[in-house]
Amino acid sequence: MTEPMKPLKLAVVGHTNVGKTSLLRTLTRDVGFGEVSHRPSTTRHVEGARLSVDGEALLELYDTPGLEDAIALLDYLERLERPGERLDGPARLARFLEGSEARQRFEQEAKVLRQLLASDAGLYVIDAREPVLAKYRDELEVLASCGKPLLPVLNFVSSAQHREPDWREALARLGLHALVRFDSVAPPEDGERRLYESLALLLENARGQLERLIADQQAQRLARQHSAARLIAELLIDCAACRRSVTSDAELERQAISELRNAVRQREQRCVEALLKLYAFRPQDAAASDLPLLDGRWGDDLFNPATLKQLGVQVGGGIAAGAAAGAGVDLLVGGLTLGAAALVGAIAGGALQTARGYGNRLMGKLKGQRELTVDDSVLRLLALRQRQLLQALNQRGHAALDSIRIDTPQDKGWREGKLPETLNKARAYPQWSSLNAHPRLSQAERQEQIEQLAAQL
């Protein structure tokens, strides 16, 4: 057996307020890590987080307080040398850390330098919107004297005013040629992978663990996307299969529509919350605006070709086509004979459970009941909104503070096109909807349809 590897230790360092704590939040996918603030010097001490794969710790990240007065510190370090003495960087730092100023005037800086000395490398975080000022160059010089590899991370690159070329040039002049572009609030899609790959170039011994981390993160990303598509598919099946039986009466119908609207609205919110949780965000990180256009539809899905097929009824092309087109009234008249025949056929075929449901719904029709279902356009709308949310989640860093708004897409495209076949099918299976009484959600066929629909999303 091979010895478990020691986790790679990284110190996250840089000027105050450049996004060090934010970078840690995003890399650890932990919205609660540390304290993020636009005020300077919120992080007063060193705080660590660990990334593990299969229970094995691969990486330790240490957040540090910001460096505030590097110019004065560099001056001080230079004056630590006695006449005729030539100390190298680490030796000079060692002398500084033993001295009293490390506990007084430069207490913050000493914490940072101690952490970097105890780490394998440092991530030097830069606010790429800032001009390259002398204080940053001095900061880098002080940090470089620890003798540890430093990887500059250009943060805030999603901002329009970033000065990436200036920083690239300045860093090159200091001998730092590798750097990573990042944004903790809106990270580039391959940002993490590039960061770890660049580290692997600086730390050849840690390549194995960094590659494992990269592979694991890729696998997690795919698994998340698959689970997300399933959550959305389940929402759509739930809504497509949802049906309410209502006595024909204006007031009762109005009430039923309002209840259906609430049920769908809440169901959508449940999906939003499940997606947020899956992506490790908080419930307040997204809010769905109200669903427009939710009127429900008065359907004759009883004569949906899928219902008939389910009952083993062979219908002529004419009836099936008429049903698909929603020619409800004619079929209602013919419903009795068709229904009776269907019942006999279904019982003979052993589909008693289905036949009972079918029979009740048919009786309902004859007693003046109407069936309310969720309109196609609402299903389209739900699909669009949830996909939009998913896209936002895929692009969101765990340092983001503002919340995502889920609005209705403006384009009209969603009204058109064919609905996925699975949704039409679901209309004929009320037991597939958690919004109906007596749902049977673990039915294999329902699961299959969810899987199929998820693949289409």
Rounded to whole angstroms, how far apart are CA atoms 315 and 208? 63
List binders of ligand GDP among 209-238 (CB under 6 A): none
Contact partner at residue 177 from ligand GDP, Mg ion, none, CB < 5 to 8 Å by partner kind: none
Residue 354 interacting with Mg ion (CB under 5 A): no
> Least distance (Å) from ligand GDP to the CB of residue 192?
13
User: Helix (H, G, I), strand (E, B), or coil: what is residue 118?
Assistant: coil
Of 30, 42, 211, 419, which one interacts with ligand GDP (CB under 6 A)?
42
Binding-site size, ligand GDP (CB under 6 A): 21
Residue 52 interacting with ligand GDP (CB under 6 A): no
Of 6, 37, 147, 295, which one interacts with ligand GDP (CB under 6 A)?
37
Residue 145 interacting with Mg ion (CB under 5 A): no
Distances (CA, A) of 324 to 293, 301, 304, 306: 23, 9, 6, 10
Rounded to whole angstroms, how far apart are CA atoms 197 and 439? 49
Bin 73: left if φ > 0, else alpha if -120 < ψ < 50, else beta.
Answer: alpha
Bin 266: left if φ > 0, else alpha if -120 < ψ < 50, else beta.
Answer: alpha
Contact partner at residue 293 from ligand GDP, Mg ion, none, CB < 5 to 8 Å by partner kind: none
Residues 261 and 271: beta-carbon distance below 8 Å: no
- Nearest alpha carbon to residue 183 among 163, 153, 213: 153
List binders of ligand GDP among 154-193 (CB under 6 A): 155-156, 159, 183-185
Residues 413 and 380: beta-carbon distance below 8 Å: no
Residue 66 interacting with ligand GDP (CB under 6 A): yes
For residues 385, 387, 392 and 395, what is the CA-based torsion angle, rounded to 10 degrees? Answer: -170
Beta bridge partners of 48: 62
Of 172, 352, 401, 455, which one interacts with ligand GDP (CB under 6 A)?
401
Of 8, 11, 13, 18, which one interacts with ligand GDP (CB under 6 A)?
18
Which residue's CB is nearer to ligand GDP, number 198 or number 433?
A: 198
Rounded to whole angstroms, how far apart are CA atoms 144 and 74? 11
Residue 22 interacting with ligand GDP (CB under 6 A): yes
> Least distance (Å) from ligand GDP to the CB of residue 181?
10
List binders of Mg ion among 10-49 (CB under 5 A): 20-21, 43
Q: What is the largest CA-CA distance in the chain?
A: 111
Residue 21 interacting with ligand GDP (CB under 6 A): yes
Rounded to whole angstroms, how far apart are CA atoms 303 and 88? 86
- Choose the stretch contacting ligand GDP; rule: CB under 6 A; options: 12-20, 88-96, 247-255, 340-348: 12-20
Contacts of 453 (CB under 8 A, 6+ apart): 233, 236, 237, 420, 422, 423
Residue 115 interacting with ligand GDP (CB under 6 A): no
> Least distance (Å) from ligand GDP to the CB of residue 166?
17
Residue 307 interacting with Mg ion (CB under 5 A): no
Contact partner at residue 401 from Mg ion, ligand GDP, none, CB < 5 to 8 Å by partner kind: ligand GDP
Of 38, 79, 412, 418, which one interacts with ligand GDP (CB under 6 A)?
38
> Least distance (Å) from ligand GDP to the CB of residue 168?
17
Q: How far is CA 152 from the centre of its chain?
A: 27
Rounded to whole angstroms, how far apart are CA atoms 172 and 76? 26
Q: Enumerate binding residues for ligand GDP (CB under 6 A).
A: 16-22, 36-38, 42-43, 66, 155-156, 159, 183-185, 399, 401
Q: Enumerate binding residues for Mg ion (CB under 5 A).
A: 20-21, 43
